[in-house]
Amino acid sequence: MRKFGFLMALLAVIFGTGGALLRAQEIETVFDPISGLAVRGAPISFALMGLSVLTMGALFALSFGVRQMRAGSFSDAFGRNVFVRVLLILAGLAASGFSALELLGLSELGALQAARVLVAIAAGIVGLVLMAVLGAQGNRAAIPAVVPVFWLCLWLVAAHVGEQAANPVLLSYVYQLFALAALLLSFYYIAGYAFLQERPGRLMFSSSAAVYFTLVTLPDSSWSMPEQVVLLALAATVLVYQLALSGRPANAFTDQPPQRKSWADAPDTGEEPYRDEGVWHPGQEHSDA
């Protein structure tokens, strides 16, 4: 199972690099420098589309090989390795810092774009950094884990509705939307581990797709330099999470999903059960502390 996770990450990086080279050539030759319109039927565009379809098909097929890589909790999946946590903290600081740099470098911002950048600055610290810091402490990373999800939802809306609303050439920004959507799904499935909802196959597929489309869209001229760094930091974050999960010992995985119980499932022992980490344990005293 583990080898499929590493293979998916490797394919995403290799094919994403090739896709970035094709995208750069496409921007150089397909789009009119004055009107911005694209030449129909350009071979380079079909080559990039074909590479994307081939890559997504390969990643989708490989994702079935990691569906049973269940770790049990967020801390067991991601939070035990100190080196991994340091990398995640650095990526979060880079995302927050360059988002602040983007805010300083823009003289005019619409309300939606300003909200997106301000949320990005906060999300880099509150979401990415705290998620890495609290990742080893049970499931306390639950609240920070959902912050990047909301941030990317806002960024996706701002990119489509705000920044590209008047652009009639879908080909000029479609890979941007794919990258943001894949990053959004990646963080959604990462957050699921903090709520005892593991989807390893979907996480591996979405994170690999996020790395691929992020590399492909980097040559787009509509990205500013800080935005490119933030995208790379987000892609690096999901890639580190993917490799951290794939790098766990083979005997550390379980084939069974974590069991969540309710009050109705607790046997009648005459004593009040209490809740710990989403599981009800009867026969022990409840503490409000």
Task: Tell me the pLDDT tens digit for each residue of 78-94.
Answer: 756 677 777 777 877 77
pLDDT tens-digit series, residues 224-267: 788 888 888 889 888 988 888 777 655 444 545 544 444 344 45
Domain ranges of the chain: 2-252
Q: What is the pLDDT of residue 12?
A: 94
Residues 2-11 pLDDT 10s: 688 889 999 9
Q: Specify the pTM.
A: 0.78
Position 202: which residue type?
A: R
Is residue 80 exposed (0-12), middle (13-18) or buried (19+ Cβ within 10 Å)? middle
Confidence of residue 103 (pLDDT cuts 50, 70, 90): low
Which among 244, 209, 251 is positioned nearest to 132, based on CA atoms? 244
